[in-house]
Chain A
Amino acid sequence: MLYNMSSEQNELTQTPLLKIWVPWVHSTLSRRRGSSVPQFTNSPTVIVMVGLPARGKTYISKKLARYLNWIGVNTAVFNLGQYRREAVQTYKNYEFFRPDNEEAMKIRRNCASNALTDIGAYFTKEQGQVAVFDATNTTRERRGLILSFAKEKGYKVFFVESVCDDPDIIEQNIMQVKLSSPDYENCDKEEALEDFLKRIECYKMTYVPLDEEKDRHLSYIKIFNVGSRYLVNRVQDHIQSRIVYYLMNIHVTPRSIYLSRHGESDLNLLGRIGGDSGLSTRGQMYASALAAFVQSQSIRDLKVWTSHMKRTIQTAEALGVPYEQWKALNEIDAGMCEEMTYEEIQDHHPEEFALRDQDKYRYRYPKGESYEDMVHRLEPVIMELERQENVLVICHQAVMRCLLAYFLDKSADELPYLRCPLHTVLKLTPVAYGCKVESIFLNVQAVNTHREKPPNVDINRKTEDALQTVPEHV
């Protein structure tokens, strides 16, 4: 397939927003061959959860979906319990789940079919790439049904089985998330616990775990006792490899993550973005206040991380404890706009300024980065945060927005507008299926650096429209 050397052939043009080089539209190569994001997989993947109730399947489903969405893989969870609650408006008791309850079995089978249909629609109509089928899927028959469905449509299947026989863990799971479920809203705790344990017994009667021999051709990971052991079989592609790596790094030990920006910097005061300036006087006061705050929290084995930029390191120095510097935590590179004020950017690059407002997540500064680029560079930080326990991350506005979006499951559209003011610590504590956030302002004044999206994002807008939402500065 040799190509003729035409002068048009190597002509490329750079897309204005993403700054990606693509073949010039008029060239003979009309089909765009380049992809600007590495391909993780070439077919949609169904992740099938397997396991008795209260083994953490929904916890894993939600967390995994959150991670995959954050790294840019469109993922949705399909929870069979919700389909069942739709179909059977009121839950009576565990008897619904008895294997000899024919009528209930019919309903449950219908729910499963509906969920699979919805999964198909998600892939074909909503550009979904990964669907997590969150149900017990404890019988060979049910798993066979899913495998046939996937085979017919050309989807890949990856099973995630959670096996746990530690009664303490199971009881804790039940207390944390089951007793407050809609199924038990009119029950007292004791009754709910008892009923749920009987529910588990119903499933146990027909539970056939994934088998090393019989299921040796399937792709799966078996997680034993919340991660003390894993059995991984036939990883097919990149996305499955990443999923396995992620699952092997997460844990459920209680801990807190503290996110904070550096103290106010000299450039902050001037309304200038980027750069590598030091702390202002108020910034130094914040650093001391942060030290006092950390002391007061009496955090066990706290790790402190900073970026490679002076202002975060100066802030950490005030804490008087060892800290680790990560280049990956550096602020977004504003390329040609480094150290400019928004007014100057509007003055010198009005078109760029407007493009940024049009799609702040994907917009890449000329010779700089985008939020999307930053998410990729922060992924190792997130992975290590998952492994760690108590950590304080001292970083920057855009970086903190990316990290926060991961923990709070915010979309790409919301991410660049998350509020991360100076001199405020965000304390994140995992709870049930999500994350509790406490915002603690440490009582040292600072400039506001948050710029809302202005109403007019047109390239030809007037200067005052462009600068409408710029925060005040010196």
Chain B
Amino acid sequence: MPRELTQNRIQKLWIPCKDDRASMPSRAGDPHLANPPTVIVMVGLPARGKTYISKKLTRYLNWIGIPTKVFNVGEYRREAVKQYSSYDFFKSDNEDAVKIRRQCALAALRDLKAYLSEEGGQVAVFDATNTTRERRDLILNFGMENNFRIFFIESVCEDPEVIATNIMEVKVSCPDYQDCNKTDAMADFQKRIACYRQTYQPLDPDNNDRHLSFIKVIDVGRRYLVNRIQDHIQSKIVYYLMNIHVQPRTIYLCRHGESEDNQQGRLGGDSGLSVRGKKFAAALGGFMEGQNLKGLKVWTSQLRRSIQTAEAVGVPYEQWKALNEIDAGVCEEMTYDEVKEKFPEEFALRDEDKYYYRYPRGESYQDLVQRVEPVIMELERQENVLVICHQAVMRGLLAYFLDKSADEMPYLKCPLHTVLKLTPVAYGCKVESIFLNVEAVNTHRERPEEVKRGPGTLIRRNSVTPLTSPEPLKKPRIDGLEESIIPETVPKTLSLCAAAHLPLAMASPNMKRCATLP
């Protein structure tokens, strides 16, 4: 006897009634939930983009609703060894340091395990060099014990220019070198790399590692070697990695010019631009020309207002149906007041949980993210792009670039007549907001204060729920170090550029002196 179905009020998903005894699990919202957790293991010499890839991949996975977190062993090491002295710490014969580093890796794995087993994580990224077979075997055993799938991402690059650029972009400004000048930092870091190189055993697809699942990214994406993809998530990860690039470029996000519906406070619809909206379109054309971009692509939705806006920019544009505004279903073309009057319950439910709330016969922000995902993938492939879209869509895209959670997404500020200029920088994205000086109505509704927040509505593991990439642990516990050698060997006032005497364990006789100490 089939179970009775009821439609849950916020997401409008059909689920079996709760009072039914025969409870077979049904997973509404998004498929592929049955898989075991995955540990992504980065592999590669320093300055090969491992942390860049880790962070970017994590941001993407969280945005599409797969809870993911990075565990960066370097941070654990900085916690354990308060002051970085020099590259000597990384010498393979520095036994004390080797012990500390191992403990850090184990601590990171311990936290990783907790994340996947107890905290609802689905994917964990183990960001470290993992350049020896020994270390990777340790991780493989760890995976086997805990029933985690292991997927390696190895970044191989021998282009000296790329490496030097990486070091300048993210290494010289890292905490390890905060008291150093750039040249010294660069020199020390190069020596650090040399330490690792001595014991580096790359993944070997022909023999030793032929049964492992991995992707080797060679020369920043010129070539890839993909071995034994096991499941959907690994396939998506590979696809994503093969589409991202590091060429400098800029993404411009803006909404269509003010529309006639906007002026009346109506949602959705397909109206044309108001007089002010047309002014904005012209201003946008002027602004984009002033940006002097090479090869700009312009994308719009298939709604009139965004196309009218693009027409004024004066370059060929492509229409994407996927960029259409969120479908407000039965509420299309109503004002908020009309919605409140005709559908008071719906109005209240939306405020209760704006991300998951699906308009009757319409969409939710959650649906929007799924629909817009191919646009994100193509944005990653492209270089300079101007996307002329709509409020909810722009919030969805912005949440991806700025790593905002599902909770924040529906309340991101995306006002009319304002261009957001996004430039990738280091591990993230710089945003500049440029108001083009044409007045428009405000269409932003703040999160109402007095709303009773629903009990975390049906947040299923892996339903399409962007989560902000979790903050790395500020103070990772590193067990097993208490009894060890640290107190004697970590010099308190030491830094790379210290003038003081250096305990043998941490320093080399040829320390270069440089800038002053704190």
Contacts and interface: CB of A to CB of B under 8 A. Distances in A.
Question: Do the two chains belong together in a single complex?
Answer: yes
Nearest to A377: B371
A379 B46 CA distance: 39
Contact of A2 (B205, B227, B314): B314
Interface string A244-288: 110011000000000000000000000000001010000010010
Interface string A357-378: 0000000000100000100110
B227, B302, B316, B361: which has the most chain A beta carbons within 10 Å?
B302
A349 B467 CA distance: 45
Nearest to A14: B304
Contacts of A3: 282, 285, 312, 314
Contacts of B308: 10, 12, 21
B378 A238 contact: yes
Given A20-B319, A21-B302, A241-B242, A234 B222 contact: yes
Contacts of A205: none
Interface stretch (A54-62, A154-162, A191-199, A319-327): A319-327
Interface stretch (B112-120, B232-240, B493-501): B232-240
A1 B289 contact: yes
B338 interface: no
Contact of A232 (B242, B315, B322): B242
Query: Which among B24, B26, B367, B378 has the highest number of chain A CB atoms within 10 Å?
Result: B26
B378 A5 contact: no
A229 B2 contact: no
Contacts of B168: none
A324 B205 contact: no
Contact of A313 (B5, B367, B371): B5
Interface in B10-33: 12-14, 16, 22, 24-33
Interface string A1-41: 11101000110101000011101000001000111111100
Interface string A298-314: 00000001001110011
Given A2-B289, A322-B27, A323-B26, A10 B312 contact: yes
Given A232-B226, A323-B26, A324-B27, A1 B2 contact: no
B13 A36 contact: no
A193 B303 CA distance: 60
A327 B5 contact: no
Interface in A100-125: none
Contacts of B30: 324
Given A5-B278, A313-B14, A238 B381 contact: yes
B307 A34 contact: yes
Contacts of A373: 321
A173 to B, nearest CB: 21
A325 B29 contact: yes
A474 interface: no
B149 to A, nearest CB: 15
B513 interface: no
A313 B28 CA distance: 10
A34 B318 CA distance: 6
A387 B205 contact: no
Interface string B420-458: 000000000000000000000000000000000000000
B307 A35 contact: no
Interface residues of B, number: 70
A233 B222 contact: yes
Contacts of B223: 212, 216, 231-234
Interface in A364-404: 367, 373, 376-377, 384, 387
A248 B5 contact: no
A150 interface: no
A20 B32 CA distance: 35
Contacts of A412: none
A185 interface: no
Contacts of A309: 14
Contacts of A238: 378, 381
Contact of B13 (A20, A244, A325): A325
B2 A12 contact: no
Contacts of B224: 230-233
Contact of A317 (B3, B205, B304): B3
Interface in A213-252: 216, 228-235, 238, 241, 244-245, 248-249
Contact of A235 (B22, B242, B371): B242
Contacts of A233: 222-224
Contacts of B279: 5
A34 B312 contact: no
B14 A241 contact: no
Interface in A36-68: 36-39
B36 interface: no
Contact of B227 (A37, A229, A328): A229
B319 A35 contact: yes
B36 to A, nearest CB: 16
A200 interface: no
A447 interface: no
Interface string B206-250: 000000000000000011111111001001001100110000000
B370 interface: yes
B167 to A, nearest CB: 26
A5 B276 CA distance: 12
A35 B31 contact: no
Nearest to A310: B14
B418 interface: no
B310 interface: yes
A427 B16 CA distance: 28
* Residue among A35, A232, A320, A377 with max Cβ neighbours from chain B (10 Å): A232
B278 A231 contact: no
Contacts of A33: 311, 315-317
Contacts of B16: 317
Contacts of A308: 12-14, 28
B343 interface: no
Interface in B233-272: 235, 238-239, 242-243, 270, 272
B24 A321 contact: yes
B242 A318 contact: no
Contacts of A5: 278-279, 282
B472 interface: no
Nearest to A4: B282
A120 B238 CA distance: 34
A3 B289 CA distance: 11
Contact of A244 (B242, B318, B320): B242
A2 B285 contact: yes
A241 B228 contact: no
A384 B31 contact: yes
Contacts of B316: 33-35
A207 to B, nearest CB: 19
A230 to B, nearest CB: 4
Given A229-B227, A373-B321, A387-B235, A314 B24 contact: no
Nearest to A279: B2
16 contacts: A2-B314, A19-B302, A33-B311, A34-B300, A35-B316, A37-B319, A38-B320, A230-B227, A232-B226, A305-B31, A308-B12, A308-B28, A322-B27, A323-B27, A324-B30, A324-B32
Given A35-B317, A322-B26, 13 more contacts: A21-B307, A34-B310, A216-B223, A233-B223, A245-B239, A245-B242, A276-B361, A308-B12, A310-B7, A318-B2, A325-B28, A327-B367, A384-B32
Interface of A: 1-3, 5, 9-10, 12, 14, 19-21, 23, 29, 33-39, 212, 216, 228-235, 238, 241, 244-245, 248-249, 276, 278, 284, 287, 305, 308-310, 313-314, 317-318, 320-328, 338, 367, 373, 376-377, 384, 387
Interface of B: 2-3, 5, 7, 12-14, 16, 22, 24-33, 205, 222-229, 232, 235, 238-239, 242-243, 270, 272-273, 278-279, 281-282, 285-286, 289, 299-300, 302-304, 307-308, 310-312, 314-322, 332, 361, 367, 370-371, 378, 381
- Listed from nearest, the 10 A-B pairs whose CB atoms lie closest are A324-B31, A317-B2, A230-B226, A232-B224, A10-B308, A318-B2, A313-B14, A21-B307, A233-B223, A36-B319
